[in-house]
Structures are given as C-alpha cells and as structure tokens.
C-alpha cells in the first residue's frame, strides 16, 4: 500500500515562493502505473489539480497555474516536489500529493493514494 507524506512550511509571505515535498513509500517510485501529482483545496472549496510528473521526468501542468508552477521528481529519494512562485492569498489551501494511475505513462487517470494534506497559508 502506497503511503504519501507532504512536508514544507505552513506559512508563506505574499509574492514569495511556496515549496512542498512529497515522500513516497510502500511501493516503487518508478512504477510504470503511477504519475505523481499535486492537488489543492482552498478553505471550504473544491479540488484543483495542479501538476503531475512521471518517473521519466515527463511533466504536465494545469494551464491556469503553469506560468508559476514547477514539479520535479527525485528517484533516488522517492520524492517529488512542487514549487509555486509569486504566491498571493488566493493560493492559501491544503495541498495534497497523490498517486495518479496510468496504464502506460501516456494519460493520467484517477487519484488512488493521497497524502494527508499540508495547509499552506499565504499571509504577511
């Protein structure tokens, strides 16, 4: 059973950069059946997919955030990371990392395993 755990600061100042890391255990990070992704949920709101990465380094981004986001993977540490630049109060949310099933690395499907979530507040 895959286990994912987010880590990173809980408070970021406006205009600065948000950085989060997700550690994966309980299964192979280089699995051909998983993308690794980030989803966020603003307080009291719905879910928004941010980005995902395949173990080959292939990345995909939500067009609404693409200009400010970078996702990367470190196979040696079984970790993947999210960087969101120039944050505003609108970026305050719980950030989840998750595994996203893929049948062969070309399309990312449903989110099977989720981390517990990391609340990031943007405030001065």
Partner 1 sequence: ETVLTQSPAALSVSPGESATLSCRASESVSSGLAWYQQKPGQAPRLLIYDSSARATGIPARFSGSGSGTEFTLTISSLQSEDFAVYFCQQYNNWPPSTFGQGTSVEIK
**What's the closest the beta carbon of residue 79 comes to partner 1, in angstroms?**
18
CA quadruple 25, 29, 32, 35: dihedral positive or negative?
Answer: positive
Distance CA 22, CA 20 (A): 7
- The total of other beta-carbon atoms located within 10 Å of residue 55's CB is 18
Between 15 and 116, CB nearer to partner 1: 116
Between 29 and 96, CB nearer to partner 1: 96
Q: Are strands 3-7 and 118-122 parallel, antiparallel or unpaired?
A: unpaired
**What's the closest the beta carbon of residue 15 comes to partner 1, in angstroms?**
25
Span of 26-34, 59-67, 68-76, 79-87 interacting with partner 1 by CB under 8 A: 59-67
Q: Does 96 bind partner 1 (CB under 8 A)?
A: yes
Q: Does 49 bind partner 1 (CB under 8 A)?
A: yes
3-state secondary structure 12-48: ECCCCCEEEEEEEECCCCCCCCEEEEEEEECCCCCEE
**What's the closest the beta carbon of residue 111 comes to partner 1, in angstroms?**
6
Q: Which residues contact partner 1 (rule: CB under 8 A)? A: 46-49, 60-64, 96, 98, 100-101, 107-112, 114-117
């Amino acid at each position: 059973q895959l286990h994912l755990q987010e880590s990173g600061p809980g408070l970021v100042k406006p205009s600065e950069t948000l950085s989060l890391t997700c550690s994966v255990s309980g299964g192979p990070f280089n699995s051909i059946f998983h993308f690794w992704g980030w989803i966020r949920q603003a307080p009291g709101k719905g879910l928004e997919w941010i980005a995902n990465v395949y173990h080959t380094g292939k990345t995909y981004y939500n067009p609404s955030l693409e200009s400010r986001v970078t996702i990367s993977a470190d196979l040696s540490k079984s970790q993947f990371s999210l960087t969101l630049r120039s944050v505003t109060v609108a970026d305050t949310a719980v950030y989840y990392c998750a595994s996203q099933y893929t049948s062969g690395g070309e399309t990312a499907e449903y989110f099977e395993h989720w981390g517990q979530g990391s609340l990031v507040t943007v405030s001065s």
